[in-house]
Structure 1
Amino acid sequence: MQTDAYSLILEAIDSGVYRPGDRLVESELAERFGVSRTPVREALQRLETQSMLARDGRSLIVASLDHNQLAELYVVRAELEALAARLAARHATPEEVKVLGDMVTEDHAYLNDPEALSRANRRFHKQIHLASHNRYLVQQLDLVHRSMALLATTSLAAEGRGETALAEHQAIVDAIGAGDGEAAQAALRAHISKAFETRLKLDAGGVQAGARPRG
Structure 2
Amino acid sequence: MNQIKPQQKDAYTLILDAIDVGTFRPGDRLVESDLADRFGVSRTPIREALQRLETQSLLTRDGRSLIVASLDHNQMAELYVVRTELEGLAARLAARHATEEEVQVLRDMVEEDRALLSDPSALARANRRFHKQIHLASHNRYLVQQLDLVHRSMALMATTSLAAQGRGEIALAEHQAIVDAISKRDEHAAYSALRDHISVAFVTRLKLDSHSKSAV
TM-score class, shorter: over 0.9
Give 1:65 shift: 0.2
Task: Select which of 159, 177, 182 maps to 1:176.
Answer: 182
Supply the distance in 1 between the matched residues of 2:122 and 2:103 (Cα, whole angstroms). Answer: 22
| Residues 1:127 and 2:133 are matched in the alignment | yes
CA distance in 2, matches of 1:17, 1:122: 16
Matched residue, 1:211: none
Q: Is 1:113 paired with 2:119?
A: yes
Q: Hey, what does 1:212 align to over in structure 2?
A: none
2:73 alignment partner AA = H
Question: Which secondary structure state, in structure 2, belongs to the residue aligned with residue 204 of structure 1?
Answer: helix
1:21 aligns with 2:21: no
CA–CA distance in structure 2, aligned partners of residues 17 and 169 of structure 1: 27
CA distance in 2, matches of 1:72, 1:59: 27
Partner of 2:72: 66
Deviation at 1:15, TM superposition (A): 1.1
2:59 and 2:35 map into 1 onto residues whose CA distance is: 14
Aligned partner of residue 17 in structure 1, secondary structure: coil
Q: How does 1:4-83 map to 2 (within 5 A)?
A: 4-83=10-89
Q: Partner letter of residue 75 of structure 1?
A: V
User: What secondary structure, in the 3-state scheme, does the structure 1 residue paired with 2:10 have?
Assistant: helix
Identical columns (%): 81
- C-alpha distance in 2, partners of 1:139/1:75? 17
Partner residue of 2:92? 86
Alignment partners' CA distance in 2, 1:112 and 1:203: 21
Give aligned pairs, total: 205
* Amino acid across the alignment from 1:149: A
- Alpha-carbon distance between aligned partners in 2 of 1:87 and 1:13, rounded to the nearest angstrom: 29
Structure 1 vs Structure 2 CA RMSD: 1.1
Structure 2 counterpart of 1:116, one-letter code: A
Aligned-partner Cα distance in 1 for 2:95–2:20: 29
After the TM superposition, which residues 180-199 of structure 1 pair with which residues of structure 2 at under 5 Å, given as runs? 180-199=186-205
Deviations 1:37-75 (A, max 9, x none): 111100000000000000000000000000000000000
Paired with 1:34 and 1:103, the residues of 2 have a C-alpha distance of 34
Q: Which of 148, 157, 160 lines up with 2:166 in the alignment?
A: 160
What are structure 2's unaligned runs of at least 5 residues?
Answer: 1-8
- Could you tell me the TM-score, scaled by structure 2's length? 0.93
Q: Which amino acid aligns with 2:63?
A: G
* Partner SS for 2:60: strand
Partner of 1:209: none
Using structure 1 for the length normalisation, give the TM-score.
Answer: 0.94
